[in-house]
Chains A and B, each alone.
Chain A
């Protein structure tokens, strides 16, 4: 085997008194995909930030091509060919693809920009990546998957030798994932080393040559991925036997309809969609990215303008002009965008918890004691791990943020809860907690839930029925007994159902 491209020796990192990484010996060969898995807070991000130069290790050494190096910042990292692609993509939204690819390193002809050269190079890179994006497209007009493509194109242009991908598939459709994996294959042939971080173990199994499992800042195992089953990976991550991910589906669904949506049209996104939600049911919404699921349900709860459509709650026509109307009808919506729409990341946890249900804590002044009590209860109920009650949300891990987001919704004691991608980007342990919680809501507390998810496994494992959307229309409703990935996929791609 070739010489090691990268190696870390006994890397440790401390933030104040907290040791978040301990004795990590990680290595990477040219042309290899090395996956790093672990629950949120296991130290994956910190390790990657050390490798990319964003953080400096407290102890230990970093070797590149066998030479010890010290990276002062990410710029030095990139100079050494180490490029990190963050989960939250780092693109200038108003600039074009080409401008982003060359941002900060524009080609010049004397004083002026050499636009032709940059355009040609961009076209070449995009062709190499098999992408249909054009250099002049504005980033904000691209889908998230295409934005990710631009990030990768950026890395390719920088002639990266080590590319770190943080959850690259979390918002991609299946086809797009396939494109990404083809691309990774090609990068491997060019002897690029890839560090692949993901929560999706099937993908890790598929794409990675080796897997390193981190838990609580320690390296639990590094192994050829062929020698590890998905179940073994999951068990190593949580450090306990992970029983079936999904709780048993409960019976006890009542036949009465708690929510009926009729002929909803959201201009540009959804055309004449109708569906029903039964009492105590978990109703799934499946479909490819861009099918209009989020837009439909946001319109239902008044967060988006609709062109037409009616909502009936327990048979009665209700008027929802804005989200407050929905909340007053005990309908709550958890956005897929945790940091952009659910939580104020620069505010404290308590501030966020009570924001939606603030009236409950106000008479006429905000009762801080009551807020504190509610927080303590939520912290225990949802197992939110925050060392202090006055922590900023940005300091919480993704899983804990999500739990806080759910806790925030529950403060209004809703009857109908809509979860949009509730487990995106969170660790296996938290995912399982989320599933258990959703089930408990329906079974023990008699609520009804809608779950939008792009993970078919999750839909099948959790839901009683699933509404499938394709291209802004509802193409089918699949009952529990008929639920399998193939059927849902057929509806989702428009092969079956009315398009």
Chain B
């Protein structure tokens, strides 16, 4: 600080809290530079497109998780939910393709099914938490098991495959580039912008923060706590549905291992981004940066021989713990 003062920089407030506020961004820039030094191929348009497109699934889900967590909840079921929605969506599209053919209308129906199931699954979580008055951790631990087992049942223990005719129609939703940008990345960006506005600029966002900060104060501020909390779980369900819509055309299949561990990656992205796990404080841009950081780590490990890609989880885990330590550092 003294040095900053000597240079007349005190107005810039280059203190720990500022640094903390932009911490995730600093980490992202650092990883970018590191990746470029390790392997200049990192900066190729193809690789960057790949990184961002992969980030889109977890990123979109994590945006939903940000709302849930900010309002003091947690949703462990998102990975299983993604698998379940994929399964239902594939079955729905395969069965109606007999009537509607392999055209766009079948894909649209599939998307509608996905959104519908996401809405219902989110409502299920939300209502059990608010009306049933059960801890979000418990409810979603339960549905995590339920959704995963349902998709296994639907696939009869194997894999549900999308009919090849439909795949051809559906394929562009993942692989198409618009102005050089993959569709999932565009969708991700749109969701990020809308969510930022919702969290920062609407009364709903404000209420989420208030509930996460102190449930009682929210109640005494005439906020319908149950409704808002239920809505965060529904938003989460819808985000999972959208991520699934983008994911299904990539592989064209769903099985019991689809979306495995996504819940942890989504929560990790939120936390790395600087949102408080106990709720009451959060930011969408942080979550997005968090999601990109997680994907980047995997990408960097693939581009170098220094560390085995099998250690991806280790590096991610260390970064999560490190990020939280870093954020705690400032407050006693």
Least Cβ–Cβ distance between B304 and chain A, in angstroms? 42
- In the complex, the answer to whether A342 meets B220 with C-beta atoms within 8 Å is yes
Asked if A358 is an interface residue, CB under 8 A from chain B, the answer is yes
Asked if A272 is an interface residue, CB under 8 A from chain B, the answer is no
- What residue of chain A has the Cβ atom nearest to residue B214's Cβ? A344
Q: Which of A341, A346, A347, A365 has a CB less than 8 Å from the CB of B220?
A: A341
Mark interface residues in A296-327 (1 if CB within 8 Å of B CB, else 0). 00000001000000000000000000111011
Given A344-B213, A344-B214, A355-B210, check contact A303 B220 (CB 8 Å).
yes
- In the complex, the answer to whether B203 meets A358 with C-beta atoms within 8 Å is yes
CB under 8 Å from chain B, chain A span 54-93: none
Asked if A333 is an interface residue, CB under 8 A from chain B, the answer is yes
Q: Which of A341, A347, A365 has a CB less than 8 Å from the CB of B209?
A: A347
- In the complex, the answer to whether B203 meets A340 with C-beta atoms within 8 Å is no
- What residue of chain B has the Cβ atom nearest to residue A302's Cβ? B222
A356 — which chain B residues lie within 8 A by C-beta?
221-222
Per the CB 8 Å criterion, the residue count for chain B at the interface is 20
Least Cβ–Cβ distance between B132 and chain A, in angstroms? 17
Mark interface residues in B201-233 (1 if CB within 8 Å of A CB, else 0). 111001101100110110111111000000000
Q: How far is the CA of A303 from the CA of B210 in the complex (A)?
A: 17
Given A356-B221, A356-B222, check contact A366 B206 (CB 8 Å).
yes
Asked if B260 is an interface residue, CB under 8 A from chain A, the answer is no
A366 — which chain B residues lie within 8 A by C-beta?
201-203, 206
- In the complex, the answer to whether A341 meets B202 with C-beta atoms within 8 Å is no
Q: How far is the CA of A356 from the CA of B207 in the complex (A)?
A: 10
Q: How far is the CA of A401 from the CA of B202 in the complex (A)?
A: 25
Chain B facing A: main interface SS: helix
Least Cβ–Cβ distance between A142 and chain B, in angstroms? 20
Q: How far is the CA of A326 from the CA of B223 in the complex (A)?
A: 12
Mark interface residues in A445-457 (1 if CB within 8 Å of B CB, else 0). 0000000000000
Least Cβ–Cβ distance between B217 and chain A, in angstroms? 5
Interface centre among B206, B214, B217 (most CB of A within 10 A): B217
Given A344-B214, A365-B197, check contact A355 B206 (CB 8 Å).
yes
Given A324-B222, A356-B222, check contact A362 B202 (CB 8 Å).
yes
Asked if A335 is an interface residue, CB under 8 A from chain B, the answer is yes
Q: How far is the CA of A445 from the CA of B217 in the complex (A)?
A: 27
CB under 8 Å from chain A, chain B span 164-212: 197, 201-203, 206-207, 209-210
CB under 8 Å from chain B, chain A span 122-139: none
Asked if B273 is an interface residue, CB under 8 A from chain A, the answer is no
Interface centre among B206, B217, B222 (most CB of A within 10 A): B222
- In the complex, the answer to whether B203 meets A362 with C-beta atoms within 8 Å is yes
Q: Which of A323, A345, A358, A408 has a CB less than 8 Å from the CB of B219?
A: A323
- What residue of chain A has the Cβ atom nearest to residue B225's Cβ? A322
A335 — which chain B residues lie within 8 A by C-beta?
220
A344 — which chain B residues lie within 8 A by C-beta?
210, 213-214, 217, 280
Least Cβ–Cβ distance between B31 and chain A, in angstroms? 31
A17 — which chain B residues lie within 8 A by C-beta?
none
Least Cβ–Cβ distance between A165 and chain B, in angstroms? 25
CB under 8 Å from chain A, chain B span 271-320: 280-281
Q: How far is the CA of A359 from the CA of B190 in the complex (A)?
A: 26
Least Cβ–Cβ distance between A205 and chain B, in angstroms? 36
Q: How far is the CA of A303 from the CA of B214 in the complex (A)?
A: 15
- What residue of chain B has the Cβ atom nearest to residue A338's Cβ? B217
A340 — which chain B residues lie within 8 A by C-beta?
214, 216-217
A387 — which chain B residues lie within 8 A by C-beta?
none
- In the complex, the answer to whether B202 meets A365 with C-beta atoms within 8 Å is yes
Given A327-B222, A365-B202, check contact A346 B280 (CB 8 Å).
yes
B216 — which chain A residues lie within 8 A by C-beta?
337, 340-341
- In the complex, the answer to whether A324 meets B224 with C-beta atoms within 8 Å is yes
Least Cβ–Cβ distance between B212 and chain A, in angstroms? 10
B213 — which chain A residues lie within 8 A by C-beta?
344, 346-347
- What residue of chain B has the Cβ atom nearest to residue A366's Cβ? B201
- In the complex, the answer to whether A364 meets B217 with C-beta atoms within 8 Å is no
B224 — which chain A residues lie within 8 A by C-beta?
322, 324
Q: How far is the CA of A345 from the CA of B216 in the complex (A)?
A: 12
Asked if A261 is an interface residue, CB under 8 A from chain B, the answer is no
Q: How far is the CA of A327 from the CA of B219 in the complex (A)?
A: 12
- What residue of chain B has the Cβ atom nearest to residue A355's Cβ? B221
A362 — which chain B residues lie within 8 A by C-beta?
202-203
Q: How far is the CA of A322 from the CA of B225 in the complex (A)?
A: 11
Asked if A343 is an interface residue, CB under 8 A from chain B, the answer is yes
Least Cβ–Cβ distance between A37 and chain B, in angstroms? 29
Q: How far is the CA of A217 from the CA of B148 in the complex (A)?
A: 63
- In the complex, the answer to whether B217 meets A342 with C-beta atoms within 8 Å is yes
B221 — which chain A residues lie within 8 A by C-beta?
355-356, 408
Least Cβ–Cβ distance between B324 and chain A, in angstroms? 17
Mark interface residues in A339-371 (1 if CB within 8 Å of B CB, else 0). 011111111000100011011001011100000
- In the complex, the answer to whether B217 meets A323 with C-beta atoms within 8 Å is no
- What residue of chain B has the Cβ atom nearest to residue A323's Cβ? B222
Mark interface residues in B116-159 (1 if CB within 8 Å of A CB, else 0). 00000000000000000000000000000000000000000000
A323 — which chain B residues lie within 8 A by C-beta?
219-220, 222
Given A323-B222, A327-B222, check contact A359 B203 (CB 8 Å).
yes
B214 — which chain A residues lie within 8 A by C-beta?
340, 344-345
Mark interface residues in B99-122 (1 if CB within 8 Å of A CB, else 0). 000000000000000000000000
- What residue of chain A has the Cβ atom nearest to residue B201's Cβ? A365
Q: Which of B206, B217, B281 has a CB less than 8 Å from the CB of A343?
A: B217
Q: How far is the CA of A71 from the CA of B214 in the complex (A)?
A: 34
Least Cβ–Cβ distance between B187 and chain A, in angstroms? 23
Q: Which of A322, A324, A364 has a CB less than 8 Å from the CB of B202?
A: A364
A residues at B contact (CB < 8 Å): 303, 322-324, 326-327, 333, 335, 337, 340-347, 351, 355-356, 358-359, 362, 364-366, 408
11 additional A-B pairs beyond A326-B222, A337-B216, A340-B217, beta carbons within 8 Å, are A322-B222, A324-B224, A340-B216, A341-B216, A341-B219, A342-B220, A343-B217, A346-B213, A356-B221, A356-B222, A358-B207
Task: Across the A-B interface, give the 6 residue pairs with the lowest CB-CB distance, nearest first.
Answer: A365-B201, A324-B222, A341-B220, A327-B222, A344-B213, A355-B221
Can you list 19 A-B pairs, Cβ within 8 angstroms, ordered by A?
A: A303-B219, A324-B222, A324-B223, A327-B222, A333-B220, A335-B220, A340-B214, A341-B216, A341-B220, A342-B217, A346-B281, A347-B210, A355-B217, A355-B223, A356-B221, A358-B203, A358-B206, A362-B202, A366-B206
B residues at A contact (CB < 8 Å): 197, 201-203, 206-207, 209-210, 213-214, 216-217, 219-224, 280-281
